[in-house]
Structure 1
Amino acid sequence: MKESQTVVYASFSEAVAASPLAHQEAERLGAVKKVLDEGAQKAQSLYAGMPEEKAQRARQADAQLLNSQWVAEQQGARAVVLTEVRKAAAELLKKEGYAMIVDRDAVMAGQPEKDVTGALVAGLKDAKADFGTLPAVTPVNPEKG
């Protein structure tokens, strides 16, 4: 392992976009959206026969809950992707003996030869993100509690 005080930079967003992680994240979010949409459809059937005011309140509460779940799932998926990028960056740092790898968005100016985005992308070529299980959506009939 080389020892140095060399600080380099990489575009984490470009590394994600050029790696399999972007596709994996999009697939995950597509699957989550499908689950949430199916849950919303199931919930819609529970509103039938309810007084309109109560049905409207239930719709609003369900929409807020599903939207909150969607935001949480997006943030969670991005956190998993960034963890994979950080692992690859740590391996590159150790392999090359860099002192630090900084996100290019945080660099005001830098020498082009200090940009290691390509090496980071190469380190992500076999990345496989583990997003865990899909969320479960089980609508509850507000009439029954």
Structure 2
Amino acid sequence: MKRNLMRQMTGAVIAVMVAGTLLVGCDAKQAGEVEMKFINVEKVALDSGLVKQEQAYLKAVNENLHKGLQLAEKNYATLPADKVAAARQADKKIIAQQWQGQQRAARQVVLAAVKQATDAYRTEKKIAAIMPMQTAVSVAPELDVTADLTTKLNATKLDFGKVPEITVKAADTAKPAVAAK
């Protein structure tokens, strides 16, 4: 009885495995079809104009940050002489942190646009994966989809958000004068 049960179980397992193998084979790609493509992310971002948009945004941010420092300089005239250096250093630190944060955020907007376009292209073309060219040692030219994605992103207008506004608070020896909004 136990042997019959074992034979039936073994037969059932084998039948399931054979059926699974056959079903997997139905959806398999033909020999020679490629499921992976490659992209040069930096080239796409540069050639599509996304980097130019990022640079324009960061230029506006930088200008506003420098205006903020200039406004803060006017506040230093009302501070005691021994507090000016500390206030200047605190303001410069805030401006530097704001600048670094804006640079990171802008780069994330660019990369998100590239990723979104890449995901859409991968889905549309039924590609299993699109990898960065930099991870490959050697790639056949027909696997490079950089030009296709550059074309796809040419008309993309990025939204980096609002350029931060710099305000200057009244002179206070305990706190920095500069604040970003």
Normalising by the residue count of structure 2, what TM-score does the alignment of the two structures yield? 0.74
CA shift for structure 1 position 90: 0.9
1:22 aligned counterpart, secondary structure:
helix
Cα deviation code 1:39-67 (max 9, x no counterpart): 00000000013222211000000000000
2:91 aligned counterpart, secondary structure:
helix
Counterpart in the other structure of 2:74 = 45
Normalising by the residue count of structure 1, what TM-score does the alignment of the two structures yield? 0.92
Q: What runs of 5+ residues in structure 2 fail to find an aligned partner?
A: 1-27, 176-181
Q: Which has the higher contact order (CA 8 A, sep 6+)?
A: 1
Counterpart in the other structure of 1:102 = 131
Q: Separation in 2 of the partners of 1:53 and 1:10?
A: 56
Aligned residues: 143
The 5 A counterparts of 1:109-120 are 109-120=138-149
Q: What runs of 5+ residues in structure 1 fail to find an aligned partner?
A: none
Question: Structure 2: which amino acid aligns with 1:132?
Answer: G
Which runs of at least 4 in structure 1 moved beyond 6 Å after TM superposition?
none
Contact 1:58 1:142 in 2 (8 A): no
CA shift for structure 1 position 99: 0.5
Contact 1:11 1:117 in 2 (8 A): yes
Larger radius of gyration: 2
Question: Structure 1: which amino acid aligns with 2:142?
Answer: E
- Tell me how large the CA RMSD over aligned residues is: 1.6
